[in-house]
Amino acid sequence: MTQPISDTPSTSYARKPDRAARRSRLREFQSQLLERMQIARSGTDVRVNQLGVMVGQTRCLLDLQQVSEIMSVGAVTKVPLTHDWYLGLSNVRGNLIGVIDFARFQGMPPSPMEQESRIVVFSPTLSFNCGLLVSRVLGLRNLTDMVVQDGDSQGTMPWSGQRYRDEESEMWTQLDLSLIVQDPRFLHIGL
């Protein structure tokens, strides 16, 4: 006895094009972001681009000269007797880097490791094998499209720089990774 052939595709088959399309769009976005980061680093782009990320619920801007790459969160090996903000070690292209939950380091709630979470790896020019766990990468932001917020500082954190308001009235805080790696508390991960 033969079974009738259904006109409707199976559920698993219907999902595959969506996943494939999402992966394709993600690859395209990452490729465009990498290309734009390389252009910005080379100095051929006259705009002042910064990498926009979410640290907890705070929108932050990172200088592209201080960032080497953006990685998906893979395996992070815990290191005993370290602060809760030090998540452990991760292998990035054969190099071990320390992974820091930067939101937790600043006293905010811990960042969950979700699908959109990323590790922003420090540039080799900083001589510090480290990466910050961020909630999301928001892409490149042009500072010339933002308004400087005079007298509006982030607070007592020495690595927090100028604040900006974008066209959607969102606030952004510029972070200086070179100042983060000089902070004594950041350098002492052990309990």
3-class DSSP string for the chain = CCCCCCCCCCHHHHHHHHHHHHHHHHHHHHHHHHHHHHHHHHCCCCCCEEEEEEECCEEEEEEHHHEEEEEECCCCECCCCECCCEEEEEEECCEEEEEEEHHHHCCCCCCCCCCCCEEEEECHHHCCCEEEEECEEEEEEEHHHCEECCCCCCCCCCCEEEEEECCCCCEEEEECHHHHCCCHHHHCCEC
- Looking at the structure, tell me whether residues 28 and 58 fall in a common domain: no
Q: What CATH number is attached to the domain comprising 81?
A: 2.40.50.180
The closest of 62, 184, 68, 72 to 126, measured between CA atoms, is 68
- Looking at the structure, tell me whether residues 82 and 17 fall in a common domain: no
- Looking at the structure, tell me whether residues 41 and 56 fall in a common domain: no
The closest of 99, 100, 104, 98 to 57, measured between CA atoms, is 104
- Looking at the structure, tell me whether residues 62 and 96 fall in a common domain: yes
- Looking at the structure, tell me whether residues 24 and 72 fall in a common domain: no
Note the pLDDT of residue 153: 53
Rounded Cα distance between 153 and 163, Å, is: 6
Sign of the alpha-carbon dihedral angle for 162, 164, 170, 174: negative
Q: pTM for the full model?
A: 0.71
Under 8 Å between Cβ of 90 and 72: no
Rounded Cα distance between 125 and 142, Å, is: 23
Note the pLDDT of residue 119: 95
* pLDDT averaged per 10 residues in sequence order, the chain, 191 residues: 46 56 72 67 64 93 93 92 96 92 93 92 94 94 88 67 90 93 92 88
Q: Look at strands 95-101 and 130-134 and give their pairing.
A: parallel
Q: Look at strands 118-122 and 147-148 and give their pairing.
A: unpaired
Domain count, the chain: 2
- Looking at the structure, tell me whether residues 37 and 91 fall in a common domain: no
Can you give the residue range of the structural domain that contains 125?
Answer: 47-187
7 belongs to a structural domain: no
